Amino acid sequence: MVNPERFLADLHKLRSFGASGVGNGVVRPAYSEADLAARDWLSEQMAAAGLEVQMDATGNLFGVTEKPSLLLGSHSDSQPEGGWLDGALGVIAALEVARASREADGPPVSVVSFQDEEGRFGVTTGSAVWTGHLEQTVADALTDHTGVSLASARAGLADRVTGPVDARRFTGFIEMHIEQGPTLDTSGGKIGVVTDIVGIRDMRVTFDGQQNHAGTTPMHLRRDAFQALAAFSTGLSDRLRNIVTPQTVWTIGHVSLHPNASSIVPGRVVFSMQWRDAQTDRLARMETVIRTLADEIAEAHGLTVRFGPVLGLDPVEMDATLRARLEDAAEREAPGAWRAMPSGALHDATNVASLMPVAMVFVPSIGGISHAFEEDTTEQDLVCGLRVLARAAAQR
Ligand code: GLV
Ligand code: MN
Ligand code: MN
């Protein structure tokens, strides 16, 4: 039997690592001091639950049972300004289910907290390396927005690393997560059983112009990187209109303007260009539009444009058998109050799906807010999700 009090207490304890002091928010980016302290604490909890603690070279943390076992979990790193449940919920729910299953002599359940799901360095970096989608040597060369490489960040893992963790020991993976959107909250639903996860593409773009004096440079002679970005952003919404669906999204979320001073015409801007959709071919068509428009804007503004590597994940469907287990559990724990639904957020489950059967279960996000300090879910909904996960994991 899962213990809701123990589960909620652990969830709050994990929040204390990197607590932002604003609401329940956390600042726990991958490989930060808070992230490593949280991983150390998680390791202790795994060991106390009778699991064998293992960490691979990327920093993915596993608590494993005897083979074979089901794997449950998510990630414990956060966005630069993150909520307390994104990732953390799936890890702590996994810990509670594994612990309760051992106490009750139930089926073996292993636990994982993947590293850098939130993309400080890439897109779901830790699970991408673990599943072989990304070579460690390639990942090592990735840099964050301040220029720090993953290689130097993971040097901080020091002697925590035990070695590779063989995926063949796991029979399947279930990730519990908050929905991070408004669907369950606005419909009064308690549980979402995920049908598929959208695909994502993410690319760094640079416009190089000419840095110059903001008082003396006539407007028609400027090669202003900010003006180019503004025109690009506006133009993109227009150009994409005919190829996107209401579910398609695109975001310029990180902008670094150089030198970012009031009296200087900016000479360079580096920005993140991210787009998501359920269809791989639409993602490709969007990429063509993005590159073509950036080229055109650069030319019109007298700039040059550079594109970084395109990182991404393709859309995936969830495994029918594991999904049916979750649906059956949802109907028992929340009769009539669950729905099958796609995930618009990306998850480690996407990478893991290439190695084993994978499924996901969602609980509501209050106000549909996530990737923000305000992110929250009622305790009743958190516990309902835990019970669904436990019930699904207990089915042999
Ligand atoms: C995951 O955090 C995402 O960006 O969808
Ligand atoms: Mn997450
Ligand atoms: Mn997230």
Provide residues with CB under 6 Å of ligand 1: 118, 345-346
303, 207 contact by CB (below 8 A): yes
Query: How far does residue 348's CA lie from ligand 3's centre (Å)?
Result: 10
From the CA of 124, give the closest atom in ligand 1. 1
Contacts of 367 (CB under 8 A, 6+ apart): 182, 185, 374
Q: Which ligand is nearest to the CA of 74?
A: 2
From the CA of 86, give the closest atom in ligand 1. 2
What's residue 1's pLDDT?
93
Q: Which stretches of the chain drop beneath a pLDDT of 70?
A: none
User: Given ligand 1 and candidates 249, 371, 375, which is best to mutate, with the most ligand atoms within 8 Å of its CB?
Assistant: 371
Q: Which ligand is nearest to the CA of 197?
A: 1
What's residue 6's pLDDT?
98
| Distance (Å, whole) CA 67 – CA 62 | 13
What's residue 154's pLDDT?
98
Query: How far does residue 86's CA lie from ligand 3's centre (Å)?
Result: 5
From the CA of 346, give the closest atom in ligand 1. 5
19, 25 contact by CB (below 8 A): yes
User: Given ligand 1 and candidates 74, 114, 118, which is best to mutate, with the most ligand atoms within 8 Å of its CB?
Assistant: 118
Which residue puts its alpha carbon closest to atom 1 of ligand 1? 346
From the CA of 180, give the closest atom in ligand 1. 5
| pTM reported for the whole predicted model | 0.95
